[in-house]
Chain A
Amino acid sequence: MKFKGFLKDVGGASRVARARLEAFAAASAEPVRDDPIGDVARAWHPGRLKLKVVDIREASPTAKSFRFVRADGGELPFFYAGQFMVLDFEIGQSLISRPYSISSAPSQARGKDGFVEITVRRSRGDGFICDHLNDDVKVGDAFTALIGCGQFYYEPLRDAKRVVALAGGVGITPFASMAREIAAGKLDADLTILYGSVASNDIILKDELEALEGPRVRVVNVLSGDEPGWTGERGFLSADLIRKYSQGDTTYFICGPQVMYRFLREELGKLDIPARRVRFEVFGQAKDITAFEGFPGDLKDATFRLTVRRGIREDVIPAKATESLVVALERAGIRIDTGCRSGECGFCRTKVLAGSVYVCPENDGRRAADRDFGYVHACAAYPTSDVTIKIPIE
């Protein structure tokens, strides 16, 4: 339709207003609540869910696998193999959360009988929650959890088809999920897991992983201890060993204890691997913050006053210099949202209003503008004076 000479027409404004009102008058008066795009977002990320433990079984002499389903019988969310879930605990007056890599496959979470599993090893005396899970938790116990967090998963548009996983200790769990997903034909990748343990009875999920071996999944156990009779690989996950099991374009996924990360950064550096082919799982909460450069050593026994503002409310709690702000809050029973506890995900983003903190350099995943305005990720920030913070109301 052409309006020759329209520049003489001055009625346009009235005409469009009339058209608008006519369209509204002709519209239905029935409320339409359909939000299918939001529904998909909620199916993947429903927020915290109530889960219950339906099965506990041994994954090694020192580790157990815990199987969860939704307490309300609903469907579990979608997630990627390699991601973790955050599990919430109430122990005494403490409100504690922990991230655990999901060791079951995403496809096992589908359907009415879907489940998720985590596999947790008893600590060597320093893992309060790991021991609590191994010793106290029983079938039927209920938890709240956030499923499907983190960036440690196979991304087909980024990663090579061939994947070599470098696992240490309980760091096998995300690879158990990937191996299961590949074996189920749901993930298109070829996976070789180089799994370092001290002794053969430390190997977690040994039988279950061996059962997954096939054309696309291979598991190579590597023992660092001097175990007589072991015919497999020995030593650490060295550059030579990695080279031996690599073939062509490969993406390396690494998950294990912090000492292994330091070791592997060096070993991988000896190989000619592009940066984009190396993916580390998050570092985890620093085991000993006093060992990091720049931490004020004279504060190692100090405890400060931590003033916590939530809305217009203020609470004052003690906070040790050697424990993160998150730990101080959890001890005091003040809920704070946490995810990776490695400074990366930012769930525990917190504003420091007064006082000073030390941020673990290994775990400083902040946005630039956040740094400028005194925001920290509370899981990676340690008080070095009396401190006032503001956190969300949970």
Chain B
Amino acid sequence: MKFYRDHYDVIVVGGALAGLSAALMLADKGLDVLVLERHNLPGGIATSFVRGGIEIEAALHEMMSIGEKNDRLKVGKFFDDMGVDIDWLKVPEAYHASLPGLEVTLHPGLETFAKEVDAAVPGTYDRVLRLLNLCHTVFDSVNELSVHPMSKPMMLLKHEAFVKTAGYSTREVLDTFDLPQKALDLLAPYWIYVGSGFSDLPFTIFAVLMADYIGYGSYIPRKFSHEMSLKLAERAEAMGVQIEYRQNVEKILVKDGKACGVRTARGDEIRADYVICSAYPNKVYTSMIEPADAVPKDAIKMVNGRRLSLTAFSVILILDRPAEELNIHDYSVFRGDTMDTDALYRDLAGLGPYRYLTCICHNYANPGATPPGTCSFSITTLPRVDGWKTVKAEDYDAVKHRVAKQMIDDMSAYYGVNLLDHVLEIVIETPMTVARYTGAWNGCIYGYAHTMQDHIVARLQTAEAEHFIDHLEFSGAHQISGDGMGPAVTNGRKAAKNVLDAMAKEAAR
């Protein structure tokens, strides 16, 4: 007896947020979908694990694009529309910024945020609010244009702010607001979630980030990101999607210029009309396409012409005291000894010391996250892959522990409490951990760096020309919407839409 049907409409390679969102959307249109996931559970890094009887979040800090129950943003709405009912908990603040000369807690809501910045840096309210409103206008345009493309004259008419900022970096646009350095510093902490220094970060990306997070706040699922991943998977299966875990896809089979199936490490060859792949194009075009000569030279040039973005290094601690007893008072603390994002970005190419840390204490959004009397506290940096590429297997453990210790020591000094005296459980996640569990190319979690030449606006315009193999679509952080768990869902939906559009076009022919 066989394990697979003779044929599927679509095979989705990778059962994380992007792949599952694609599968849901396709199943919703009545298509036969097979999802193949290499790990034994869904979600990729959107997952959790249990240590010492305590469940621990693996990766999620804050989910964007969710929105209040009656005023959902696009990801929240997609989940609702698909019948994926997640127990969202609102994160109480935007962030606590611990920056040179600043200890400020800021909350979501454009006006609230501007007021709080003004309280810390008086006289900035109008300018900060004007900037946030510009961000919001651009955000609205991006959301609309990613669904309804339009001609350039129409864009200029209806989306003027978007069009006029599209060619500029975050630094260039921020400079025109003539804000004092401290106010600029307070606007910068989230930069790490898009992973480029402000000189190279397209303003469009910054605008979307700020409007979404600051305008609407962020959320986490009560039962960790595994709740989200599992509910997507369960809903997909209920809609008829076949999901098979522990199946590592090694080859994407191409015939007559069209993807027509996959081969797994087990040796199963499975046929389908379309393949949606979450593996990085770097890996797909250099080693997964069979026959290899079905890959055009331009596809190789495309991946070689891009820069990989960030990977992750996290120290997750379960501490044996309630957070407040350890002087931890916020859900998220962004701490840096400078807010020069360009300098910080350069440092991320090394192996530490990392000077910009993001700390999350889940208990402040989810009091039941850990047993009474304990708390969870994670310290994260998002390095570039460059430094970690130089680490040898035999040195890996020492490097990992050195970096982790530096991060813990830094935060211990900040809180005035030696966190090492309170460790019930410690988990150190590295780029290698990401590579181990997800197979992501070089452990990269952020896809390609957002730069002035690898820009969502550019990505949208050239998408068609970068479609190198028919019936093969990509989903994941390496796609148009970029990195983050919210954008992962959007990337997955986009891949599904491309398949549906191609099917409609061929049916019409």
Contact = CB atoms under 8 A, between A and B. Distances in A.
B385 A312 contact: no
B48 interface: yes
A367 B423 contact: no
Contact of A369 (B155, B156, B227, B459): B227
Interface in B147-192: 152, 155-156, 163-168, 172, 175-176
B175 A39 contact: no
Interface stretch (A10-18, A174-182, A319-327): A10-18
B304 A29 contact: yes
Contacts of B458: 13, 16-17, 19-20
A233 B493 CA distance: 68
Contact of B302 (A24, A312, A369): A24
A273 B474 CA distance: 53
B435 interface: yes
B414 interface: no
B505 interface: no
A229 interface: no
A326 to B, nearest CB: 14
Interface string A366-394: 11111011000000000000000000111
A323 B109 CA distance: 56
A37 B385 contact: yes
B432 interface: yes
Given A43-B393, A368-B227, A35 B441 contact: yes
A16 B286 contact: no
A255 B300 CA distance: 53
A312 B242 CA distance: 9
A38 B423 contact: no
A271 B394 CA distance: 39
Contacts of A41: 432-433, 435-436, 443
Interface of B: 1-5, 40-41, 48-53, 55, 152, 155-156, 163-168, 172, 175-176, 202, 223-224, 226-227, 230-231, 234, 242, 244-247, 266, 268, 282-283, 285-287, 297-298, 300-306, 311, 320, 385, 388-394, 396-397, 401, 404-405, 408, 420, 422-426, 428, 431-433, 435-436, 439, 441-443, 452-455, 457-459, 461-462, 465
Residue among A11, A158, A313, A367 facing the most chain B CB atoms (10 A cut-off): A367
Interface stretch (A94-102, A149-157, A193-201): A149-157
A198 B183 CA distance: 71
A392 B166 contact: no
B168 A311 contact: no
A23 B242 contact: no
Contact of A368 (B55, B165, B298): B55
B453 A23 contact: yes
A40 interface: yes
A372 B223 contact: yes
Q: 8 closest pairs, A vs B, by CB?
A: A12-B167, A311-B3, A27-B305, A43-B393, A12-B166, A392-B246, A41-B435, A19-B453
Contacts of B1: 313-315
A143 interface: no
Nearest to B265: A47
Given A276-B320, A347-B40, A37 B50 contact: no
Contact of B423 (A21, A157, A315, A372): A157
Contacts of B401: 156-157
B285 A16 contact: no
Interface stretch (A1-9, A119-127, A256-264): A1-9
Contacts of A26: 305
A344 B423 contact: no
A16 B163 CA distance: 12
Contacts of B442: 35-38
Nearest to A7: B164
Given A312-B3, A337-B246, A37 B224 contact: no
A138 B172 CA distance: 72
B439 A40 contact: no
Contact of A20 (B52, B268, B454): B454
A19 B166 CA distance: 13
B455 A16 contact: yes
Contacts of B167: 6, 9, 11-13, 15-16
Interface string A319-344: 00000000000000000010000001
Contacts of B2: 311-313
A344 B50 contact: yes
B468 to A, nearest CB: 12
Contacts of B41: 346, 349
Interface of A: 1-3, 6-17, 19-45, 78, 110, 151, 155-158, 274-276, 310-315, 337, 344, 346-347, 349, 365-370, 372-373, 392-394
B98 to A, nearest CB: 23
A16 B453 contact: yes
A157 B424 contact: no
B302 A27 contact: yes
Contacts of B443: 37-38, 41
B385 A392 contact: no
Given A37-B385, A41-B443, A157-B423, A17 B457 contact: yes
Contacts of B202: 16
B297 A276 contact: no
A6 B298 contact: no
B393 A78 contact: yes
Contacts of A368: 55, 223-224, 226-227
Contacts of B306: 23
Nearest to B296: A29
Contacts of B320: 274-276
Given A12-B165, A373-B234, A392 B226 contact: no
Nearest to A151: B51
Contacts of B234: 373
Contacts of B392: 40
Given A29-B297, A44-B393, A16 B457 contact: yes
B484 to A, nearest CB: 21
Contacts of B40: 337, 346-347, 349, 392
A20 B462 contact: yes
Nearest to B287: A33
Given A13-B167, A15-B167, A349-B41, A30 B389 contact: no
Contacts of B454: 20, 23
A275 B319 CA distance: 11
18 contacts: A2-B172, A2-B175, A7-B164, A9-B167, A13-B166, A17-B462, A19-B452, A26-B305, A27-B301, A29-B297, A36-B389, A36-B391, A44-B432, A157-B428, A347-B40, A368-B224, A372-B223, A394-B266
Given A20-B462, A311-B2, A312-B4, A9 B164 contact: yes
Contact of A373 (B49, B230, B404, B465): B230
A28 B286 CA distance: 13
Contacts of B436: 41-42, 44-45
Contact of B405 (A29, A157, A344, A370): A157
Given A367-B48, A367-B50, A369-B231, A6 B172 contact: yes
